[in-house]
Amino acid sequence: MKNILFVCTGNSARSIIAESIINNEYSNKFKAFSAGSNPSGKINIDVRSFLEKNKNYDLTNYSSKNFEEFINNEIKMDHVITVCNNANNEVCPIWPDKNQIIHWDIDDPVTKLQNANDEEKQIIMIIVGSGLMAENLTNDTAVMLIANTIATGAGLFVLITVFADVSGAHFNPFVSIAMTITGKLKKRLLPFYISAQILGCLLGVALANFFFEHQIFELSTKSRDGIYIFVSEIIATLGLIIIIFGSMKSGKITVAASVGLYITAGYWFTSSTSFANPAVAIARTFTESFTGISYLNTPFYIAAELIGMLIAIYLVKKIFLNK
């Protein structure tokens, strides 16, 4: 049996994840340890929650510690694997015996989670906040929709352009799932993305409500029901995912413009006003504004979006990935 030491800077996320996977899935061949050059002293709460609840790993004896404990330790390490990210200018720990070191360039899942959270918070603030501002300025529904449309389309373009190189600018759980199924997003990141997307949307709607002197969270009474709306939301989500995959090869500016313009148009050519995002649908349940949706209708929106995603994945594989 070989001993492996996973080393990163804080020993709170990546190295802990690696250690726990090896010890739980490959314990017949390897014994894993982890440490950090500047340990944080505790395991990241999101990482612990994911490993214990989603993977059913027991982290009772896991801790964040300094790698100096292993330098002169009686336990001989067969391999020392650093899991920092040189691409993001992280300073990788230095191990005395360079012959033992293997480097895995791995993005920090916690940073990914935080970035995705910020992005989602900003887009829902734009959607709900622009709707609230429009309500304050006019009683004309068409003018409200125009204001909401322009703000959302412009906000999407800017946010996708800015965050595309940071976290992929994932605002949408169903887009992230589609990316995972088609191999564009690593499976291990998906739970972090979806958690951040939903939490970010809830924080965003809370801030938008607060900005315009509404209750932080208030249940919407705006009815959005009917089979025509259900089918409309299927098409909205299907179209969004196809637009994203179809424009990816042309670069982030093209993706940003395509998504922003598609959602801008979708406000007008769909009776559902093109939510196309389950995290947004959940968040908009908590605003009693022009942009809200009754909690009774939210599950049907999400079901429609799920159907749209599944159809889109099938079409994307046929159109864009089988070449």
Give me the DSSP letters along 298-319: HHHHHHHHHHHHHHHHHHHHHH
Q: In angstroms, rounded to a whole number, what is the distance separating the alpha carbons of residues 257 and 247?
A: 9
Catalytic residue among 5, 8, 147, 235: 8
Catalytic residue among 21, 31, 52, 92: 92
Residue type, 46: D
Is 201 among the catalytic positions? no
């093109």: which residue's tokens? Answer: 274
Joined tokens for residue 198: 């939903």
Q: In angstroms, rounded to a whole number, what is the distance separating the alpha carbons of residues 95 and 7?
A: 9
Is 8 among the catalytic positions? yes
Q: In angstroms, rounded to a whole number, what is the distance separating the alpha carbons of residues 133 and 153?
A: 16
Indicate the DSSP class of residue 76: P
Catalytic residue among 4, 43, 83, 84: 84
The residues near 300 (Cβ < 8 Å, ≥ 6 apart) are: 225, 230
Q: In angstroms, rounded to a whole number, what is the distance separating the alpha carbons of residues 201 and 116?
A: 10
- Strand segments, DSSP code E, in 11-63 are 30-36
Joined tokens for residue 105: 């360039």
**Neighbouring C-beta atoms of residue 218, cutoff 10 Å:** 15
């599944």: which residue's tokens? Answer: 310
Provide the annotated active-site residues: 8, 84, 92
